[in-house]
Structures are given as C-alpha cells and as structure tokens.
Amino acid sequence: MPSQDGSLKAITANRLRDGVVVFLGPDWNAGGEVATAWVESFADAALFPAAKAETALAAAKPRAEREQFGVDIYAFDVETENGVPVPVKMRERIRALGPSVRLDLGKQAAA
C-alpha cells in the first residue's frame, strides 16, 4: 500500500551462499504472526510505504547479517506502471530480472 505521497519501497539483498538477488517478502507463521522471509521473485516482494520500509530494513538487515544469510541489504523505490509494481531505477530492474545482455539467462528466461 502506498504512503501518503504514493511512494513505495522494497528491500533487497544478495544471498550470501550463492549471490542470488533476493527480496524481503511477507510470510505467515503457524501462529498467525508476520515473519520476514526472503523471496527470489520481485513479484513476491513486500512493498512498504517509505516510513515503514525504514523500520523493516532496520529489523531485517541485522538479522540477515547475524544469520549470515544476506549482504548488501537496502531499500529501493518502487512505482506502479499499468497496475504492476516495478523498480524505479534501472539497477533494481536488472537485479529483478537478471542479466541484461542475454534474455535467455536469469529470471526473464523463465517468464
């Protein structure tokens, strides 16, 4: 859900064991509480209003680093195009899809 100014953010990292780009996504545990989980698809990523993204990042970053799960953890801007959320900057668009030099590789190959 967008913030009052309409801006959204998502949180990304590189998985430490294999370098794969991952995104912070929502996950429900058996007790019905929200827990953090990392997902490989941007389509499954949690989208946060800017103020809540900073709170989520502040919780997720030290946990992922402590558990040696991820590195280079940061929030980035997301906008909606034709009703579909997409990263604002090209860097995150490439991270979400995979290599830009060959469309038969990366996540775009599976689409």
Q: How confident is the model over 29-86, as pLDDT tens digits?
A: 444 455 668 999 999 999 999 888 888 898 888 888 888 999 999 999 999 999 999 9
In a domain, 71, yes or no: yes
**Res 12 pLDDT > 90:** yes
The structural domain count of the chain equals 1
Instruction: Check: CB of residue 60 under 8 Å from CB of residue 39.
Output: no
User: Which sign, positive or negative, has the C-alpha torsion 5, 8, 74, 60?
Assistant: positive
Domain that holds residue 78: 8-100
* Nearest-angstrom CA–CA distance, 12 and 82: 23
- At 24, the pLDDT band (50, 70, 90 cuts) reads very high
44 domain residue, yes or no: yes
pLDDT of residue 108: 67
Instruction: Decide which of 92 and 102 is more confident.
Output: 92
In a domain, 12, yes or no: yes
Q: What is the model's pLDDT at position 35? A: 63
CA gap 98, 42 in Å, rounded:
11
Question: Does 108 reside within a domain?
Answer: no
Question: Do the domain assignments include residue 3?
Answer: no
61 in helix, strand or coil?
helix
